[in-house]
Amino acid sequence: MSSPSHTVRRARAGTTEPAWVKWTLIGVALAFVFLFLLLPLAAVFTEALRKGVPAFLEAFQEPDAWSAIRLTLITAAIAVPLNLVFGVAAAWAIAKYEFRGKAFLTTLVDLPFSVSPVVAGLIYVLMFGAHGWFGPWLQAHDVKIIFAVPGIVLATIFVTFPFIARELIPLMQAQGTEEEQAAQVLGASGWQTFWHVTLPNIKWGLIYGVILCNARAMGEFGAVSVVSGHIRGQTNTMPLHVEILYNEYQSVAAFAVASLLALLALVTLVIKSFVEWQFDRLEKAAAALPPEPVPQSVPV
Amino acid sequence: MQSALPAGSLPRRTPKRVLPGFNITLGFTLFYLSVIVLIPLSALFFKTFTLTWAQFASAVSSPRVVASYQLTFGASFLAALVNAVFGLLLAWVLVRYQFPGKKLVDALVDLPFALPTAVAGISLTALLASNGWVGSLLEPYGISLAFNRNGVVIALIFIGLPFVVRTVQPVLEDAEKELEEAAACLGASRWQTFRHVIFPTIAPALLTGFAMAFARAIGEYGSVIFIAGNMPMVSEITPLIIIGKLEQYDYAGATAVAVVMLGFSFVMLLVINALQAWQRKRAGASS
């Protein structure tokens, strides 16, 4: 009994590093994380509380701060559901069927990720701005898109466009169509099949995409900055409000609003870790079921 | 005869498309994609066509714009390089070792994806300014990391940090330990095993992560403008040039520079797609 465990230990010794190498690598990695991630995060909260809690709370007495928070919430409340519907539709079309141009379509869905946020804002200015394609028509009908809320929503939709689709496409491709076909054979309608078969299967991927999409929608700066016009109390989102306060040397107020956004980021990370843990659990359960466990790649 | 007709048409309908909803989902996908992405992007090209070639050339090659390309590309390349090195290290440490706080570090790696760029920008500036935690420590040595090009690189390192970690991590997790054992049995040192066995396996993923971090850094705006100082010819990034031209109502000039950036985005998208295909081929060949 003792000889196999002995050989195992010998084999492991050849595929691990000496302890000093291991702890040096861990040390350097942790120092990097501390300097580049932990310190900036901590700085947001300490700068916000530098002059105490009353000064921190004062930042939220301002009506402009509240209108920025409201606009950020409204923008996310429109952009995220629209991209959610798109993400599910695109993933259904791309994952469940074969058709020509599928790879190209998948690349196009990812396209907004590689466009600079500033360019993303600019294209809507060229479409709807005073000198844009629809500018004269919009002016004649007294509709404002650029330097108004619709432009902010459009720019936000653009930059968060791929988030949900790109989570769902690989997940639904990996799951195949067998369960849906079984439901069809048993007489379920298309909608019933989606609601009772597909949706429970993609639930975690959907939540994952939605929280990442939401974090970006609430935090977008570059694209929104181009189309907003920075009208205080009207077209300022939270990140733009942070910029204005910061440029006016109201450091504590800027960091107070920023700390809300940092909290949003932390909540996003917590939910994301929870969803990943669920993925892991489901995968292990699935791997335990069949006689030969074939671990599938984590849909991240 | 009446029943024979639908029966005869059945075999044509069965292959592949038994699930309903193809037309409506693909139709909606194409509609939404066109309205949000394709038509607005095409506006950029149509606007460029209203410029003469000389106007376009002078807009995209004025000294100030060229200086911004040099800064944007140079700083993005440096930042992506730093991220490749430390991203690989982080991925390695997270996959291969156990240490206290590992779960926390793993979750924290995604912070740059979740933290709004403007918040990252003002926070890094507060840290690195001469009165900040880090800046005040470095000032006696004459090192300044804020309001100059160094600041640009540091902000870009921050925003590109997760890419390399998240592309290399799954490949390292799937890498077969047997190959390393075989190398060790054949007398390879641990470093030789890493160089000749492990590194070739993760190289495609590492390059993909590098390309993603580089592409993201080129377009980045929010985190950089606070820390860069934004001096023309010195620390002014290309996206800021576009904003500057827009503020002067120079739509044609802004569009011309934007087309250059968009062209680069397309190239990077193709490069990343090719790298991912290479990675899949590698993964398929090894398993």
Taking the C-alpha atoms of residue A161 and residue A151, their distance in angstroms, rounded to an integer, is 15
pLDDT for residue A291: 57
pLDDT for residue B10: 43
pLDDT in tens, A108-134: 999 999 899 999 999 999 999 988 889
pLDDT in tens, B44-103: 989 888 889 999 999 999 999 999 999 999 999 999 999 999 999 999 999 999 999 999
Sorting pLDDT into bands at 50, 70 and 90, what band is B223? very high
Cβ atoms of B164 and B91 closer than 8 Å? yes
pLDDT for residue B7: 43
Residue for token pair 């409340």: A77
Q: Integer distance in angstroms from the first to the last C-alpha of chain A? A: 41
Instruction: Please indicate if any CB of chain B lies within 8 Å of the CB of A26.
Output: yes
Instruction: Please indicate if any CB of chain B lies within 8 Å of the CB of A199.
Output: no
pLDDT for residue A2: 43
Size of interface A-B (CB pairs under 8 A): 291
Cβ atoms of B64 and B235 closer than 8 Å? no
Mean pLDDT of A196-225: 94
Sorting pLDDT into bands at 50, 70 and 90, what band is B175? confident
Instruction: Please indicate if any CB of chain B lies within 8 Å of the CB of A253.
Output: no
With a pLDDT cut of 90, the percent of chain A lying above it is 72
Sorting pLDDT into bands at 50, 70 and 90, what band is A296? low
Interface touch A300/B166, C-beta < 8 Å: yes
pLDDT in tens, B116-141: 999 999 999 999 999 999 999 999 99
Backbone angles phi, psi at A56, to 5 degrees: -60, -45
Structure tokens at B39: 């038509």
- Closest chain B C-alpha to A119 CA, distance in angstroms: 6
pLDDT for residue A14: 64
pLDDT for residue B77: 97
pLDDT for residue A30: 96
Interface test with B, best of A33, A100, A242, A260 (most B CBs within 10 A): A33
pLDDT in tens, A71-102: 999 999 999 999 999 999 999 999 999 999 99
pLDDT in tens, B7-48: 444 444 444 457 888 999 999 999 999 999 999 999 998 988
Interface test with B, best of A8, A26, A252 (most B CBs within 10 A): A26
Question: Residue B161 carries which side chain, given as an amino acid letter?
Answer: L
Taking the C-alpha atoms of residue A79 and residue A74, their distance in angstroms, rounded to an integer, is 9
Mean pLDDT of A266-287: 91
Taking the C-alpha atoms of residue A86 and residue B224, their distance in angstroms, rounded to an integer, is 31
Mean pLDDT of A281-287: 85
Interface touch B255/A180, C-beta < 8 Å: no
Q: Integer distance in angstroms from the first to the last C-alpha of chain B? A: 54
pLDDT at A300 over 70: no
Structure tokens at B125: 């500036």
Q: To the nearest whole number, what is the mean pLDDT of chain B? A: 89
Q: What is the ipTM of this complex?
A: 0.88
Question: Rounded to 5 degrees, what angle do the CA atoms B53, B57, B59 make?
Answer: 120
Taking the C-alpha atoms of residue B112 and residue B156, their distance in angstroms, rounded to an integer, is 10
Interface touch A123/B40, C-beta < 8 Å: yes
What are the strands, taking DSSP E only, across B105-232?
A: none
Sorting pLDDT into bands at 50, 70 and 90, what band is A13? low
Cβ atoms of A151 and A129 closer than 8 Å? no
pLDDT for residue B149: 93
With a pLDDT cut of 70, the percent of chain A lying above it is 92
Taking the C-alpha atoms of residue A252 and residue A249, their distance in angstroms, rounded to an integer, is 9
Within 10 angstroms of residue A48's Cβ, the number of other Cβ atoms is: 23
pLDDT for residue B1: 37
Q: Which residue of A has its CA nearest to B180?
A: A15
Instruction: Please indicate if any CB of chain B lies within 8 Å of the CB of A243.
Output: yes
Q: Which residue of B has its CA nearest to A79?
A: B36
